[in-house]
Amino acid sequence: MTDHFRTMGQQFGRRSWAEPWKIKMVEPLTMTDPDHRQKAMAEAGYNTFLLRSEDVYIDLLTDSGTSAMSDRQWAGLMLGDEAYAGSRNFYHLEEAIQTYYGYKYMVPTHQGRGAEHLLSQAMIKPGQHVAGNMYFTTTRLHQELAGGIFVDVIIDEAHEPQNMHPFKGNVDLGKLQSLIDRVGAENIAYISLAGTVNMAGGQPVSMANARDLRALCDRYGIRIYLDATRMVENALFIQEREQGYTDKSIAQILKEFCSYTDGAWMSAKKDNLVNIGGWLAVNLADLFEELLNMVVIFEGLHTYGGLAGRDMEAIAIGIVEAVQDDHVRARVGQVRYLGQLLLDWEIPIVQPIGGHAIFLDARHFYAHIPQAQFPAQTLAAELYLDSGIRSMELGIVSAGRDPETGDHRYPSLELTRLTIPRRVYTQAHMDVVAESVKAVFDARERMHGLKMVYEPKYLRFFQARFEPLHE
C-alpha cells in the first residue's frame, strides 16, 4: 500500500481512522417528546417519507442529497457561470467525469432519475429485456415505462441477508447466459449494472465479475451501462477484498471498473457529495447524439441539463473529493461502526456490512408479522416513535406491484434501511441510533403490523399511507 492513500493511523500501523475534515458550521437538531412523535407519525400515515424534517432528530432516511458540502464546494457555488449556454462549470464537470470515470461524452441531468429516463428511452425498444444485478425502484420503473422487462440476474447469495459472500452484488453469468439463450441477444436492450447494490444492502461487484461480464457481453454485442451512484464505495470494497487491488487507489479502481462498461448514469446526490444533480455519460457517439436530442426536451440545454452553473461546479469539485481514499474509508468506516455495535447486540442486519447504510432484517426482527402486514415499514415507524430517528422501508412496499398481475411483489429481502449521510453525523449520533435500535429490538414481540390505506400508482413507498393493525 503506498503512503499517499494511507490514513494517518495506518501509516503507523495503527487501526484507528478518523474523518479527513473538521466541522466549520453546524445545524441545530430538534429534540421531540414521545407524544409529539406519536402525533407526527399518525399525521404522516406511518410513512417516514411523509414526516416533516423538523419533526426528525437523526435523519437516516437516505444518503441522497443529504451530504455536507465542503468549504471548497460552497466556494465553487460562488463561481457559478449562469450563462444559458456553454457555462464554464459545464466544462469543469465534463473534465472531472472524463478524468475520474473515463467516459467520453456527458449530459448533465437534474438528478439520477433524469439520466435513467434518458437512457431507458434511448436504449430500450418495447418488449426488450433489461438484465440487472437486482432492481432499483426508479431505475426499473423508467425501464418499464420505456417498454422494457427487467430480469434480475444477481447471484443467489444476494438474496440471503446472512450470507458472507464478499461480492454479493455480482452478476450470475450463468443466469445471464440462460436469458440470452432464451430470448436472444438482440432482445436484451442492455445490462443494467449497479456499483454497490442498494436493494441488496449496499453490496459490491468485484472487478473480476465486471471483466467477465464484459467478455460475455462482447461475444453477443450487448452493451453494459453502470449505475455509478455509489461506485466509489464499491471501489473501496475491491481495494479491501480483491486480490491485486490492495495497492491501487480508489481513483484507479473506479476508472478501471468503468472501463468495462459503455457508460454510466449518476445520482450525484450520493457519491458526488452535492445536494442536487446528476449526469449521464457514454462512449458511443451515435447514442450521445440521440441523448443531445432528448436532453433539451426533458431536462434543459445539453450544457446545463436542469442544473444551475453553480450546481455543476459543486459536482465537479465533489467528484475529486469523493475519490480520495481517506474520505471513502471514513465514510464506510462510520457505517461499519454502527453495524458492529448492532452485531455485538445480536441484532439481525444484512451482512457483510455494506457501504452506505445498515439494513435491519425486518423479517427476523418481526418474525411474527406476515410480509403483507409490512414488517419493515412497521420497524421504520417504531424507530421514529422510539427516538425520532428516521429510516426507510426497503421491502414489500418498495417492491411495488407486478405490472402484469397487479399483485404485490414479495421480495425475499424485507429490510429497514438506516442510511448514513456523508460527512454529516458524528460517532456519538451513531451510538444514539444503535441504542434506539436495541430498545425497539427488545420490544419486538409486542409489535403488530400495518395495513395500507392509500396507495399511489407509481413508486408507492414515497406516498403510501398506513394505519396500525392493533393499538
Ligand X SMILES: Cc1ncc(COP(=O)(O)O)c(C=O)c1O
Chain positions contacting ligand X, by CB under 6 A: 64, 111-113, 136, 138-139, 194, 198, 227, 229, 267, 269, 278
CB of 113 to ligand X, least distance (A): 3
CB of 4 to ligand X, least distance (A): 30
In terms of CB distance, is 267 or 371 closer to ligand X? Answer: 267
In terms of CB distance, is 41 or 194 closer to ligand X? Answer: 194
In terms of CB distance, is 112 or 148 closer to ligand X? Answer: 112
CB of 194 to ligand X, least distance (A): 6
CB of 15 to ligand X, least distance (A): 31
CB of 269 to ligand X, least distance (A): 5
Say how far apart CA 56 and CA 226 lie, in whole Å: 34
Q: Which of 253, 425, 251, 240 is nearest to 331 (CA)?
A: 425
Q: Which of 428, 413, 434 is nearest to 340 (CA)?
A: 434
Residue 98: exposure state from Cβ atoms within 10 A (0-12, 13-18, ≥19): middle
Residue 147: left if φ>0, alpha if ψ -120 to 50, beta else—which one?
Answer: left
Q: Which residues contact 343 (CB under 8 A, 6 or more apart)?
A: 349, 351
In terms of CB distance, is 64 or 416 closer to ligand X? Answer: 64
User: Do β-strands 357-361 and 415-419 pair in parallel, antiparallel, or remain unpaired?
Assistant: antiparallel
CB of 138 to ligand X, least distance (A): 5
CB of 424 to ligand X, least distance (A): 17
In terms of CB distance, is 260 or 279 closer to ligand X? Answer: 279
Residue 147 φ then ψ, to 5°: 95, 5
User: Do β-strands 415-419 and 392-394 pair in parallel, antiparallel, or remain unpaired?
Assistant: antiparallel
In terms of CB distance, is 120 or 371 closer to ligand X? Answer: 120
Sign of CA dihedral 159, 162, 165, 166: positive
| Cis status of the peptide bond prior to 352, with omega within 30 of 0 | yes
Residue 24, C-alpha cell as written in the block: 466549520
In terms of CB distance, is 37 or 269 closer to ligand X? Answer: 269
